[in-house]
Amino acid sequence: MPATNGTFRGACPHDCPDTCAWTVTVTDGRATAVTADHDHPFTAGGLCAKVNHFLDDRVYHPARLLMPMRRTGPKGSGAFTPVSWDTALDDIASRLRRIVDEHGGEAVLPYSYMGTQGLVQGNAVSDPFFARLGATRLVRAVCGSAGLTGEALTMGAGPGLLPEELEHSRLIVLWGTNTVSTNLHLWPFIRRARENGAHVVVIDPMRTRTADAADWHVRPIPGTDAALALGLMHVIVAEDLHDAEYVANHTVGFEELQGRLGDYPPERVAEITGVPSDEIVRLARAYATTRPAAIRVLVGMEHRSHGAATYRAIACLPALVGAWRDRGGGLAHMTFQLFGDLDWACGVGVPDDPDLREVNMVQVGRALTSLEPPVRALVVYNSNPAAIAPEQNLVLQGLARDDLFTVVLEHVLTDTARFADYVLPATTQVEHFDVLWSWGQTYLTWNEPAIEPVGDALSNAEIFRRLGARLGLTGPAFTATDADLAEAAIAPLGPDRVAQLKRVGWLRMDTEDDRLPYAHGGFATPSGRVEFFNAGLADAGLDPLPGYVPAHEGPQGDEQLRTRYPLSLITAKSAHRFLNSGYVWVERNRRAEGEPQLDIHPDDAGPRGIVDGDQVSVVNDRGELRLTARVGERVRPGLVAVPSGWWASTSPSGSGANALTADGTSDLGGGGDFHDTLVDVRKVS
């Protein structure tokens, strides 16, 4: 049990590349302060605007759920009455048992994602729970999977350039990432590089905070990044700027790549991307002749029908110019590969049945409305699909089904929870054990409970343990405590490193070798080289070379669709005080953000008779948003943007951005294509 007074180590649990370390001060059993760990090399003593008020905004917020709640009104009404844990869990277990007995385990669908990055409260007990039920398996591939698949086809699945190494770079290309808003703690490393003479290039259709802070902003048409990468490679090879020795020793398929690059001269790429041909040439020369040169990507570009192909093409560039030779050179993306020594199953393991039905989380709306046999029970934790899933209107239609039994584990009454039959109060990060890995930096973090659970809240793991007991499930997943699970997760590190982790609160996971990972080749591909030509793709009947294919729903896609809906939509992470869909319920944050607005270029606003401040309707076949227009050059012509994250219930229009977005999947890896969305904008008279 936590002490009533003291300071406790922990980490921000949110789905963010920064994974900040913090300390929690407790006085008389109440958490009184959450502050950034000043000694942590990446957190460096600062939390973001989203988390600075964690105690007020989450732990002690007046809207926090403190007791189990049972629905008493129509679904979506938000009408609930408190009940005891025994009443709630007995009824939930009884109804799940009846559904499984009558319809089989596949009638149950879990839905979760990265509401916490913790190993214990993420899936340590829930995964074994649903596997034992034989539930439909959720494919959690909305972020990361498409881009990582594309990169792996080129250079293997290693971590690549560590983000912190960017301070050694002299040219930094931030490609499709708004670092200042979504990866704030990386920016000081970039700033130090600039102080030492580095230039920063941002490639992004939007003018973001990061673009405003950069030396050079390149603005391609959305979804054409693969073509831009191929155009850069064309110039590099045509002008003999590639590193012939590195290419000869550490790549395969250069001759075939050369043939493909003939299709992408700067003039044609300019037509595809909207980037002037002379700017393409200038960028290619700068990238090929500056050492060290780094490219930083995150997840934004992959949310397209050809997302994997985009990352495959970009991943070719560092090998082509030999950027991997230099410290601070290469491609920086994710770092989760550094945490492979952990026991990600927390010592309990998960039964594996390859015959289980699968549902991609991107298509939960389809799953709840048209899947056969039907989903009859939905259990949601660590996510808010009513806000974050594409095809929002279809998702809400599914959640409103009277014959769908829905249970939600939450901190507050989200838009998803409003449709639940039971809402169960979950603990926050300062109330439970966990182990935090990171996908954007190199440190593992230990999180210990600082206070007793507020109200009657229970941890995710404990809720699934108690449900498992009522369903007669046995095994270590249902007997181990949260502390046991956390210990099991870190046990493979060995006693000395475990002791250091607990003493300091965090542990660096990379080694000296990770700072120059491919200076001498050794890529994790079948050939051990960067594969410009991928034989596995060829064997599967797919294009073995990097290429560009226009999206069906895109500015160069289906002509009839473009005629009806001529503008590309980006649902941008531009709300500085929201985290994905988190913190939207906090009135102070909504006031600070102001009402969500539509960014539209003057070239698109003028013909529609739209001026700054007008009320407009943003429409396509999936839905409609009503917003205030903000006319300016934040977006390029042909592109409009609305902020993501707003819940329908908090948005002035009664719908969120996902009322408009598509729910298809990307070419490889299972990610979503929701940034391939076309709309039109009309002035509201």
Got the DSSP string for 348-396? S-----TTS-EEEGGGHHHHHHT-SSPP-EEEEES--HHHHSSSHHHHH
Which three-class secondary structure state does DSSP give residue 589?
A: helix
Q: Which of 440, 474, 508 is at the close of a domain?
A: 508
Q: How many CA atoms lie within 13 A of 439 on its CB side?
A: 19
Report which secondary-structure segment, H or E, holds 6.
Answer: strand 6-11
Say whether both 497 and 563 belong to one domain.
no
**What local confidence, expressed as pLDDT, does residue 362 receive?**
96
pLDDT at 111: 98
| 231 and 288 assigned to the same domain | yes
How many of the other CB atoms lie within 10 Å of CB of 248?
Answer: 9
Same domain, 400 and 435: yes
> Residue 295 pairs with which residues in a beta bridge?
173, 331
Whether residue 368 sits in one domain with residue 242: no
Are 51 and 80 contained in the same domain? Answer: no
175 plus 87 within the same structural domain: no
Residue 341 forms part of a structural domain: no
CA–CA separation, 654 vs 329, rounded Å?
46
From residue 347, alpha-carbon distances to 59, 112, 459, 476, 478 in Å are 29, 21, 18, 8, 12
CA-angle at 309, arms to 308 and 315, nearest 5°: 90
pLDDT at position 572, please?
79
307, 362: one domain:
no
Q: Does the residue 530 lie in any domain?
A: no
Tell me, yes or no, whether 345 lies in a domain. no
| In-domain check, residue 361 | yes
Provide the pLDDT for residue 1.
67
Task: Kindly tell me the burial class for residue 282, based on how many C-beta atoms sit within 10 Å of its own C-beta (0-12, 13-18, 19 or more).
Answer: middle
Whole domain around residue 51: which residue ranges?
A: 6-59
Examine the domain organization and report whether 134 and 233 are in the same domain: no
Instruction: Give the pLDDT confidence score for residue 576 in this predicted structure.
Output: 65
- The CATH number of the domain holding residue 597 is 2.40.40.20
* Sites in the chain below the pLDDT cut of 50: none
pLDDT value of residue 158: 87
Using a pLDDT cut of 90, give the percent of the chain over it.
91
Answer yes or no: do 374 and 457 share one domain.
yes
Per the structure, the count of domains in the chain is 4
Please list, residue by residue across 314-342, b when 16 or more beta carbons sit within 10 angstroms of its beta carbon and e when fewer do. bbbbbbbbbbbbbebbbbbbbbbbbbeeb
CA distances from 328 to 151, 167, 441, 497, 519 (A): 19, 7, 15, 27, 11
Write the CATH number for 499: 3.40.50.740
Integer Cα distance of 591 and 460 in angstroms: 31
Q: What is the model's pLDDT at position 105?
A: 97
Task: Read off the DSSP letter of residue 528.
Answer: S
pLDDT of residue 383: 96
pLDDT for the residue numbered 454: 98
Do 294 and 398 fall within a single domain? no
Report the chain's terminal Cα–Cα distance, integer Å. Answer: 61
Predicted local distance difference test score (pLDDT) of residue 525:
97
